[in-house]
Amino acid sequence: MLRLHGIVGHETDTSLRAQLHALEHRGAIELLFVPPEEAGRKRFRLISDRGTDCAVSLGRDEELRDGALLHLDRERAIVVRFGRQRLWKLRPADETAALKLGWHAGNLHWRVRFEAGCLVVLIDGPLADYRARLADLLSDGSVTEIAYD
């Protein structure tokens, strides 16, 4: 269990931009999805999107916001997201489409997992932005959207 005491910054802080960018390129940014019922609490325990068990405690004067950094070091950052993790499930039509889809996902640093021949993208922004990156593959039928939730 990782104990997180207080907010160390925000993902939009210009002074942290370079460090967060480097961590993002190494796939070392974890997201902690805080459900609405937990958002106002000062102490709670949740599991990050990468499986880290996080025990969070905030000071009385601290207010949790979307994008708050709860942990930041050379190895990783833990960033707060309000709500639940949204998932976009895609199925490539064949091996060529799978390679193209994988190349896009890797080149764009998308967080993904694999399920029964599908690529599941962990969405962290507007779905339209993700769709725009795959517009050609989606329009020509190389990739099919299976689910979004």
Residues 73, 116 within the same domain: no
Tens place of pLDDT per residue across the chain (149 aa): 999 999 999 999 999 999 999 999 898 999 999 987 888 899 999 999 888 999 999 999 999 999 999 999 999 999 999 887 789 999 999 999 999 999 999 999 888 889 999 999 988 778 999 999 999 999 999 999 998 88
pTM of the model: 0.68
- The pLDDT, as a whole number, for residue 37 is 80
- The pLDDT, as a whole number, for residue 53 is 96
CATH code, domain with 110: 3.30.70.790
Domain boundary among 60, 82, 104: 82
CA-CA distance, 56 to 30, in Å (whole number)? 14
CA-CA distance, 1 to 146, in Å (whole number)? 35
7 φ/ψ angles, rounded to the nearest 5 degrees = -100, 125
- The pLDDT, as a whole number, for residue 40 is 85
- The pLDDT, as a whole number, for residue 109 is 85
CA-CA distance, 35 to 64, in Å (whole number)? 12
- The pLDDT, as a whole number, for residue 149 is 82
CATH code, domain with 28: 2.60.260.20
